[in-house]
Amino acid sequence: MEWLVEAGLHRRAGATTLAVARDLAGRMDYRLGFVLYDLERTAARCGVSVATVKRHVRVLRELGVLVWRRHGSKRNLRLPGRSYAGTATIYAATIPPVYDEEMGYRLEGVGYGARVVGVTDPGRARAVDAFRTAGHPVDNSDVDRPSSGGRAPHSPGSRHDVPKADPSGRLNYTSRERATSATASTLQGPRGWGGGRGPAAGRGWRDRSPRPSKSGNRPLSRHPLQVARDIAVARQVRPLIDRGLGAHDIAAELHGLALDWRPARPAAYITAALNHDGRTDGPDRRVVQGHAVAPPSAAFSRAVAAVRESSAEVAEAVALAGADGPLPGVDGLTREEVIELRSAAVADRGLILVALENLGERETRRLYTNRLVDRVLAESGGASPAGTSTSTGTGVGACT
* Span 237-290, pLDDT tens digits: 777 777 777 777 777 777 766 556 677 777 777 777 777 765 544 444 444 444
Residue 54's pLDDT is what? 92
Chain center to CA of 295:
49
d(CA 95, CA 101): 11
Where, residue-wise, is CATH 1.10.10.10 in the chain? 1-76+86-94
List residues bridging with 119 in a β-sheet.
105
241's enclosing H/E stretch is helix 238-242
CA distance 309 to 303: 10
Rounded to whole angstroms, the Cα distance separating 337 from 332 reads 10
Helix runs in 7-72, H state only: 15-26, 39-46, 50-63
Residues β-bridged to residue 107: 116
Q: What angle do CA 285, 287, 292 make, to 5 degrees?
A: 105
Closest by CA position to 378, among listed 313, 251, 289:
289
Rounded CA separation 379/388 (Å): 17
Per-residue pLDDT of 382-396, as tens digits, reads 655 544 444 444 444
Percent of the chain surpassing pLDDT 70: 53
**Tens place of pLDDT for every residue, the chain, 400 residues?**
887 888 888 888 999 999 999 999 999 888 888 888 888 899 999 999 999 999 999 999 998 889 888 877 766 666 666 666 667 788 898 887 878 888 888 888 887 778 888 888 888 888 888 888 876 666 656 555 555 555 666 666 555 565 565 555 554 555 444 545 544 444 444 444 444 444 444 444 444 444 544 444 444 444 445 544 556 667 777 777 777 777 777 777 777 665 566 777 777 777 777 777 655 444 444 444 444 456 667 777 777 676 666 555 555 555 544 444 444 556 677 877 778 888 888 878 788 888 888 888 888 888 888 888 888 888 877 655 544 444 444 444 444 4
Contacts of 282 (CB under 8 A, 6+ apart): 392
Contact 348, 307 (CB under 8 A): yes
Rg of the chain over Cα atoms, rounded to whole angstroms, equals: 39
pTM: 0.32
**CATH class belonging to 1-76+86-94:** mainly alpha
CA distance 207 to 230: 6
In this structure, the number of other CB atoms found within 10 A of the CB of residue 203 comes to: 18
CA distances from 342 to 183, 227, 317, 329, 396 (A): 40, 22, 21, 15, 10
Of 365, 370, 367, 373, the residue nearest 400 (C-alpha):
367
256 near 369, Cβ under 8 Å?
yes
In whole angstroms, what is the distance from residue 274 CA to residue 139 CA?
87
Total length of the chain: 400
333 conformational bin, left if phi > 0, alpha if psi -120 to 50, beta if neither: beta
Task: Report the percent of the chain where pLDDT is more than 90.
Answer: 8
Beta bridge partners of 92: 34, 67
| C-beta separation of 156 from 142 below 8 A | no
> CA–CA separation, 32 vs 28, rounded Å?
9
Tens digits of residue pLDDT in 111-154 = 777 888 888 888 888 888 888 887 666 665 655 555 555 566 66
